[in-house]
Structure 1
């Protein structure tokens, strides 16, 4: 009788240990999944940075030697607006501008090329439209830009141009979190205000 009772208690103890281990593994998996989802971009950034160093890509930070004055992030649907208006005018004003459609090489990792272009630019211009807000890739791009600025202590390195009368409340929480360090301006609704807009944007790009 005592032997059977001891055997039962042993099985109960083993089952308790096993169920505890399984529970811990499940909870750990859930926590890791939540962590990875929340900080996915930060993890991607660190991985990309390590790969860049491993491949011998020069990391430019806190220096005057930048290849571009600004890298422009925008929705694909806004390419015509950016390329025919923003890009041409900034080039006319003497700025060197990097665009994904101009400088990204097809077939290569977009995330890796994004990081490299940001590295090589003094500023990042984000053109926010309704198209931009609906683009998943640009949400990732914004997070990568913000993460880069945060890790490298590059204040005032992000210029946000808001179009279509979009309210700040609709912007990415990543941008709102560091809004104090962002230079923001609105795209003019009329042609009469465009000259003043270009002057303000030029000053923002010249600001160190």
Structure 2
């Protein structure tokens, strides 16, 4: 990402640190389950509070960080930006707002922490991208460990995605927190954008 690509790892030319961050769903869940359980006098909650500081009365830089696959860029340019930014919703987009020269992982964490919500544009292409899945997992952990009762991760189902293709933690998140389904139906489309704006800004 970082203005380069949100496709698969192989698509991300110029990502010098990519081999150091070859994280996918199974690896991240192993981190959550096993990485720190034997550290004396520390709990997983303590550790993630250090990784993701709790924001009290936070004035966020952005209303939403939009996490999406490169294949869905047209949807972002033609629909998301015009429908939300014209309504004074400030968006963080990797191709536009990530800082050049910073590690991709640092840009992602900063985008999540400085945004009121992280909006995942879920598609088959999203599931195939390791960087997108990294963003989902980091946003999920931020919501769980740092935002208290404020659920900061929002899933937008851009296209039908079979449950069988979803990683366990994503399926669990959707089942417990629901999602917003995108539709091109005229009346349903207006309702979708109104609901998404409301979820992001409240």
For normalisation by structure 2, the TM-score amounts to 0.70
> Which of 82, 91, 99 pairs up with 2:85?
91
Map of 2:200 onto structure 1: 205
Specify which structure has the higher proportion of helix: 1
The alignment yields a C-alpha RMSD, in angstroms, of 3.1
Higher-Rg structure is: 1
Unaligned runs of 5+ residues in structure 1 are 1-33, 53-58
Instruction: Give distance in 2, aligned partners of 1:151 and 1:36.
Output: 15
> Which of 105, 110, 113 pairs up with 1:119?
113
Per-residue Cα deviation, 1:76-135 (whole angstroms, up to 9, x for no partner): 121121122112211011111111111112331111111111111111100011111111
Map of 2:173 onto structure 1: 178
Q: For 2:179, what is the secondary structure of its paired residue?
A: strand
4+ residue runs over 6 A deviation: 34-37, 40-43
Cα distance, 1:179 vs structure 2: 3.4
CA contact (8 A) 1:42 1:144 kept: no
Count of residues paired in the alignment: 166
Flag the 1:199–1:168 CA change in 2: closer, same or farther, 3 A. Answer: farther
- Which structure has the higher relative contact order (CA within 8 Å, separation 6+)? 2
CA contact (8 A) 1:69 1:95 kept: yes
Cα distance, 1:173 vs structure 2: 2.0
Q: For 2:76, what is the secondary structure of its paired residue?
A: helix
Unaligned runs of 5+ residues in structure 2 are 1-25, 36-46
Map of 2:162 onto structure 1: 167
Q: For 1:88, what is the secondary structure of its paired residue?
A: helix
Instruction: Give distance in 1, aligned partners of 2:79 and 2:65.
Output: 15
Instruction: Give distance in 1, aligned partners of 2:141 and 2:102.
Output: 21
